[in-house]
Amino acid sequence: MERLSALEIKRVIAEAVRRWVPKADNPFTFLRSVHLAERGLQVTLDTGHCSTLAARLSDDESILDRPSDSVMISLPILFPARGYRKLVVPTRDRAPQPDPVMIAALRKAHAMLRTERGMPLIDAAPRSPYDRFILGLALLAPDIQRAPLEGRHPPHLNLESLKGIDLPLEWTKQRELLGIGESDAPCSADKIA
């Protein structure tokens, strides 16, 4: 029997709870239980700050039970096989969710740079390995940088996942490596005729 990644399930649940209770700093604060059901997960939340929860449910989600101190929600998901690894995928397209951590890192990266005649320049080398990593984010293709700002980035693209990747300077190769669709505008040397 194949095992499902707890991290993938946790990610899907966190995304759903953040959408249902947007003012929750930690999405697991309100979480009481999660049970595997035939068509996905049954998520039970404390009703403390969930007064507008019903309005935030997507079309395929529903409230199954609502006792006085909790609410049980049906979160339909698929567990499709991909090679020998199972992936947990929400059954609906996820709503755009800008990534505040990536946004802060991109701002910091651009604050380290100045431009002169359209060329990025730095006045001093970053002191720490982390700052060198952050500076590299400013060299990502413009469409890759825009994706987390607009909430269109793939779920796997976050600051933590980028730490383990040696990013190439060529934008086309960045897109291939990160699994981001190519933009229509010519953004790399190989697209300019």
Q: Is the pLDDT of residue 191 over 60?
A: no
Mark whether 80 and 138 lie in a shared domain: no
Mark whether 67 and 106 lie in a shared domain: no
- Stated pTM of the model: 0.47
pLDDT-derived band at 186, boundaries 50, 70, 90: very low
Supply 182's token pair: 């190519």
pLDDT of residue 24: 73
Identify the domain containing residue 72 by its residue range: 6-90
Bigger pLDDT: 116 vs 192: 116
Supply 27's token pair: 């999405």
pLDDT digits (tens, 9 = 90+) for 39-94: 788 999 887 666 677 778 887 888 888 888 888 888 887 665 455 454 555 555 55
Counted domains in the chain: 2
pLDDT digits (tens, 9 = 90+) for 124-159: 888 898 899 999 999 899 999 988 888 877 767 788
Q: Is the pLDDT of residue 107 over 90?
A: yes
Could you give the C-alpha distances from 36 to 4, 42, 56, 108, 130, in angstroms and in order?
Answer: 12, 6, 22, 41, 39
Task: Please check whether residue 95 is in contact with residue 85, taking contact to mean a CB–CB distance below 8 angstroms.
Answer: no
Whether 140 is in a domain gets the answer yes
Final residue of a structural domain among 54, 69, 90: 90
Question: Using CA atoms, how far apart are residues 112 and 132, in angstroms rounded to an integer?
Answer: 10
- Region 30-40 average pLDDT: 84
Final residue of a structural domain among 34, 69, 90: 90
